[in-house]
C-alpha cells in the first residue's frame, strides 16, 4: 500500500483525532490499528470520534485518551449538524486525523474542521480530500479486517506490532454486573456461560434458537452452570425463543444493559457461544474461550480475534453468500448440529476449568 503524504508529519503529530468505525465487531477489529499508532508514538494523545452505540468500547481501550460522540441521528444530522461538529473539532486543536471509517463523510468533516493532516484509505471517492491517502492493495478487502486496518496505519508509518486486540471492563461496570447477578440469585462463584443467539446483520447469520437451547440444557446438566443470553434490544425475540425451548432457567439480559455493562458481564463467563456478531468479537477480545458459529459470512475476513476461539463453519457451494436472509435452504446453518457445538463447548469448558 502507498501513502502520498510525508510520513514524518503524521509521526510527529501530538493530538490525533481517530474517526472510529460504526459497528461493534469493526471496532474490535480496528483496535490493533489504534494500538499500533500508540505503540509507535507513545506520547501522542488519541481522541476517537464515535457513534454512541460503540463509544463504550473505545472508552475501555487503554490506547484511547478521550471519546467524542458523533450524534447522528441527533444534533449532528444534516449540513448544519456536520458544520457544528466540524467547528467543535476545530476548537480542539487536532494536528492530525486518522480515518478508520471508509466513508467520504469522515474526510469532509475533518477537512471542514481544518485538521491539517488527514490520513485514511482512498475509498468512497475521498482521495483528494486526504493529505495522506492510502491505496487498498489488490485483494486487501479479502484479508481479515484486523489486517485491513493495520495495513493502512502501517502504510502511514505506524509500524509497531500491536499483538491481539484486548479489552478490559471498567470497575464501575464490574460493580453493576455483580449487583445484577446478585439480584438474580447468582453468586460470584457460580460458573457462567454466555450465549449470543442474535445478529444485527440478519437471520442468515443466526443458528437455530432451539439448537442454542438444547446446547444450553446439556451444558447446565453437565456442569451445573448458569447460562446468560446476551444481545441488543433487536436480539430480544431470538433470545426469548431460546428461553422458550430450554428446559432450564436462563438469565436473559438482551437489551437490558449498556454495552459496557454487557462487556463486564461477559468477562465473568468461562465460555461464550455466539453467531458471527459484534459480541462474538468482544468475547474474543476479552480472551474468553469462544465457540463461533458462521453461516452466510466469511470467517476468513471476520473470524473472532483472540487465541481461545474455535470457528464452526460448513463451506457449502453457495457460501459465503453474505446475504441477510438465506435465499435457498439455509444448509450452511442446518449442517451445524447440536452435538457438534455441544462437544466443542464441553471440551473448551472442561479445559478451561482444568486450567489448560
Please say whether the beta carbons of 258 and 172 come within 8 A: no
What is the SS3 assignment for 37? helix
Residue 5 binned pLDDT confidence (cut-offs 50, 70, 90)? low
Percent of the chain with pLDDT over 70: 97
What is the b/e burial string over 112-135, where b = at least 16 CB atoms within 10 angstroms of the residue's CB? Answer: ebebebbbbbbbeebbebbbbbbb
Higher confidence at residue 355 or residue 169? 169
Mean pLDDT of 211-229: 98
3-state helix, strand, coil in the chain (%, to 5): 45, 15, 40
Residue 139 binned pLDDT confidence (cut-offs 50, 70, 90)? confident
Ordered domains of the chain (ranges, CATH): 7-155 (3.40.50.2000), 176-353 (3.40.50.2000)
Higher confidence at residue 93 or residue 201? 93
Q: List pLDDT tens digits, range 80-94.
A: 999 999 999 999 999
According to DSSP, residue 69 is labeled E
Residue 290 φ then ψ, to 5°: -135, 130
Q: Cα–Cα distance between 200 and 354 in angstroms, integer?
A: 35
Mean pLDDT of 216-229: 98
Q: Cα–Cα distance between 152 and 256 in angstroms, integer?
A: 36
Q: Cα–Cα distance between 279 and 287 in angstroms, integer?
A: 12
pLDDT in the model for residue 315? 87
Which of 29-43, 96-110, 253-267, 326-340 is predicted with the least confidence, judged by mean pLDDT?
326-340
Residue 2 binned pLDDT confidence (cut-offs 50, 70, 90)? very low
Q: List pLDDT tens digits, range 53-74.
A: 999 999 999 999 999 999 999 9
Full-model pTM: 0.93
Mean pLDDT of 116-134: 94
pLDDT in the model for residue 1? 40
Residue 166 φ then ψ, to 5°: -145, 150
Please list the residues that pair with 68 across neighbouring strands.
49
What is the SS3 assignment for 110? helix
Listed in sequence order, the residues at least 6 apart from 72 whose beta carbon sits closer than 8 Å to its beta carbon are 51, 81, 82
pLDDT in the model for residue 165? 85
Please list the residues that pair with 275 across neighbouring strands.
293
pLDDT in the model for residue 4? 52
Amino acid at each position: 500500500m502507498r501513502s502520498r503524504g510525508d510520513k514524518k508529519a503524521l509521526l510527529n503529530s501530538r493530538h490525533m483525532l481517530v474517526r472510529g468505525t460504526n459497528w461493534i465487531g469493526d471496532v474490535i477489529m480496528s483496535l490493533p490499528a489504534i494500538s499500533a499508532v500508540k505503540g509507535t508514538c507513545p506520547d501522542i494523545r488519541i481522541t476517537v470520534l464515535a457513534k454512541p452505540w460503540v463509544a463504550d468500547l473505545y472508552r475501555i481501550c487503554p490506547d484511547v485518551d478521550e471519546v467524542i460522540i458523533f450524534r447522528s441521528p441527533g444534533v449532528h444530522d444534516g449540513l448544519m449538524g456536520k458544520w457544528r461538529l466540524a467547528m467543535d473539532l476545530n476548537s480542539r486543536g487536532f494536528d492530525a486525523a486518522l480515518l478508520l471509517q471508509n466513508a467520504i463523510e469522515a474526510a469532509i468533516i475533518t477537512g471542514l474542521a481544518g485538521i491539517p493532516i488527514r490520513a485514511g484509505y482512498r475509498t468512497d471517492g475521498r482521495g483528494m480530500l486526504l493529505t495522506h491517502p492510502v491505496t487498498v492493495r489488490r485483494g486487501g478487502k479479502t484479508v481479515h479486517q484486523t489486517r485491513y486496518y493495520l495495513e493502512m496505519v502501517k502504510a502511514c508509518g505506524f509500524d509497531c506490532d500491536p499483538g491481539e486486540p484486548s479489552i478490559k471492563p471498567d470497575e464501575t461496570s464490574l460493580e453493576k454486573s455483580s449487583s445484577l447477578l446478585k439480584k438474580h440469585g447468582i453468586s460470584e462463584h457460580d460458573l457462567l456461560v454466555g450465549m449470543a443467539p442474535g445478529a444485527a446483520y440478519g437471520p442468515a447469520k443466526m443458528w437455530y434458537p432451539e439448537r442454542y437451547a438444547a446446547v444450553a440444557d446439556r451444558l447446565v446438566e453437565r456442569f451445573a452452570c448458569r447460562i446468560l443470553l446476551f444481545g441488543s434490544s433487536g436480539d430480544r425475540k431470538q433470545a426469548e425463543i431460546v428461553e422458550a425451548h430450554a428446559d432450564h432457567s436462563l438469565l436473559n439480559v438482551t437489551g437490558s444493559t449498556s454495552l459496557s455493562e454487557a462487556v463486564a458481564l461477559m468477562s465473568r463467563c468461562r465460555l461464550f457461544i455466539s453467531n458471527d456478531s459484534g459480541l462474538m468479537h468482544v468475547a474474543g477480545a476479552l480472551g474468553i474461550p469462544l465457540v463461533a458459529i458462521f453461516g452466510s459470512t466469511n470467517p476468513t475476513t471476520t473470524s473472532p480475534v483472540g487465541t481461545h476461539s474455535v470457528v464452526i463453519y460448513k463451506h457449502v457451494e453457495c457460501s459465503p453468500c453474505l446475504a441477510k436472509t438465506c435465499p435457498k435452504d439455509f444448509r450452511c446453518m442446518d449442517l451445524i448440529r447440536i452435538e457438534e457445538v455441544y462437544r466443542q463447548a464441553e471440551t473448551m469448558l472442561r479445559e478451561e476449568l482444568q486450567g489448560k
